[in-house]
A and B are shown apart, each in its own frame.
Chain A
């Protein structure tokens, strides 16, 4: 892991996060807490015609968790719920342009985990094992 993890873009997304608000009228939401870091992220979604019509997140955490949540919520708008179900950790690596390494993997993936769980809840499905392991 190099200083590249703290690319200007990710730090900017931490300092001025996009889509950071709670959503009272969401179709589904899911809360995740990382006990080691104390990262605390809730993701809210609105679904229309099987696609993510709106998405937001709220909570607090480190630059990796908040910066990634900001970028993730920007990136997945308009994707279908099926597409979201299939997303894995490699999507996060692509999104932030670096593998954060084992010590920070949970920080980077917490928003994706919350997002995927929100989608599963929306579909009345049990989260798959890949999601639980994120």
Chain B
């Protein structure tokens, strides 16, 4: 299964060399945030040590250097996700802010009373709460595409939802709980037949698989830097040029204007129109080495590596009695590197606490997808392991060891 040389990769991640009580860190929570390689840490440190200056302002060489590094990072992002131009790349704090920007700008302008917005039952709160807020403000209707018993999107339900000709379909590319990968290209095609615009939540897909937004054809695509080896506090809203140009800014201030008079102003070009105030410069600069790192590995290989780990994990977990997993399974290549599970009779928080004693980091809870976890899966919470380029089968073996310890402590058969 060695599609990636994990031992070599691990050397680039200082945190993975750390130990606690003599046990190495086994990090299985990359769906929450990824670890950072030296290349990213060094680039940020280098900026502060050698060319820290504000961008778009200074007429001196370090300011020019900082501006160039920041702006070039947008070109890297655009290339990495298949956007036509860096002008379609708006930097925000994270995926959540990207989606909220669409809701507050595009949504405020285009959604009217009685309009429909369609989302799915497998959405993260970040792609759910902004639409609850918007539809309540506008007296619009929020509809849901159902998730089937196979943990996949119910395509029949999608077609029915589209019959209302919703103004927007907002859907995740890859579920952070189930690991289900949605065919967003086909879905976008179907939505466009109804005149429905499409926003894709790519927080769990851009870090883990090849993504070509132009090929998908959606109007908006949102993702976060910190889940793809980059720093926290930097996220991306991709918007098609004509959409961004027609959207009003939602935050006013420096950098987002062209001219200001006492009682009026004109807006800067896209994407700057949406980036008021001093930007997260280190965040933007940190995106470049993160993307280079992933490009050097090759996103197809990254995906194959995680698919193999997921298969191994699901196979190993299926051998353990009283362990239940939640996801579409590995037969159709639509399962990302996320495995949610529960041990019968044991609360997932207790599972995670006992894992912590093995220095194995997993997530437990509702994973910011409360309706999915509590209503569809019928669980108060689930435990989740998620994989990335620095994980290997040994990490999963450690998790299996920890599961057996949980079973011993709670006398689970």
- Which residues on A are within 8 Å of B, measured CB to CB? 1-3, 5-6, 11, 15, 36-38, 40, 60-64, 103-104, 107
Contacts and interface: CB of A to CB of B under 8 A. Distances in A.
Contacts of B356: 1, 103
Contact of A63 (B347, B357, B366): B347
A104 B380 contact: no
Given A2-B357, A103-B353, A37 B409 contact: no
A45 B77 CA distance: 60
26 contacts: A1-B353, A1-B357, A3-B354, A3-B409, A6-B353, A11-B411, A15-B410, A36-B365, A37-B347, A37-B349, A37-B365, A37-B381, A38-B365, A38-B366, A38-B380, A38-B381, A40-B380, A60-B380, A61-B347, A62-B349, A63-B346, A63-B410, A64-B350, A103-B353, A104-B349, A107-B349
A62 B347 CA distance: 5
Nearest to B405: A3
A104 B355 CA distance: 14
Interface string B355-370: 0110000000110000
Contacts of B353: 1, 5-6, 64, 103-104
B32 to A, nearest CB: 13
Contacts of B357: 1-3
Contacts of B366: 38
A70 B380 CA distance: 20
A6 B350 contact: yes
Closest 9 CB pairs of A and B: A62-B347, A38-B380, A62-B349, A63-B350, A6-B409, A62-B350, A37-B349, A38-B381, A3-B357
Interface size band for B: 10 to 19
A42 to B, nearest CB: 15
Given A38-B365, A103-B353, 10 more contacts: A3-B357, A6-B354, A15-B410, A15-B411, A38-B374, A38-B381, A62-B350, A63-B410, A64-B349, A107-B349
Contacts of A103: 353, 356
Interface in B356-413: 356-357, 365-366, 374, 380-381, 409-411
B106 to A, nearest CB: 30
A107 B380 CA distance: 14
Nearest to B381: A38
Nearest to B356: A1
A6 B350 CA distance: 9
Nearest to B406: A6
A12 to B, nearest CB: 10
Task: Name the residue among B347, B357, B409 with the largest chain A CB count within 10 angstroms.
Answer: B347
Contacts of B410: 11, 15, 63
A8 B374 CA distance: 29
Nearest to A107: B349
Contacts of B349: 37, 62, 64, 104, 107
Nearest to B349: A62
A88 B350 CA distance: 23
A103 B347 CA distance: 14
A5 B357 CA distance: 11
Contacts of A38: 365-366, 374, 380-381
B408 to A, nearest CB: 10
A119 B413 CA distance: 40
B91 to A, nearest CB: 30
Contacts of B409: 3, 6, 11
Contacts of A61: 347
Contacts of A15: 410-411
Nearest to B345: A15
A36 B409 CA distance: 23
Contacts of B354: 3, 6
B124 to A, nearest CB: 16
Contacts of B411: 11, 15
Nearest to B364: A37
A63 B348 CA distance: 10
A61 B353 CA distance: 14
A90 to B, nearest CB: 21
A1 B380 CA distance: 24
Nearest to B348: A62
Contacts of A62: 347-350
Nearest to A6: B409
Contacts of A64: 349-350, 353
Kindly name the residue among A1, A5, A15 whose own CB sees the greatest number of chain B CB atoms within 10 A: A5
Contacts of A6: 350, 353-354, 409
Interface in B165-194: none
B141 to A, nearest CB: 27
Nearest to A103: B353
A63 B380 CA distance: 14
Contacts of A11: 409-411
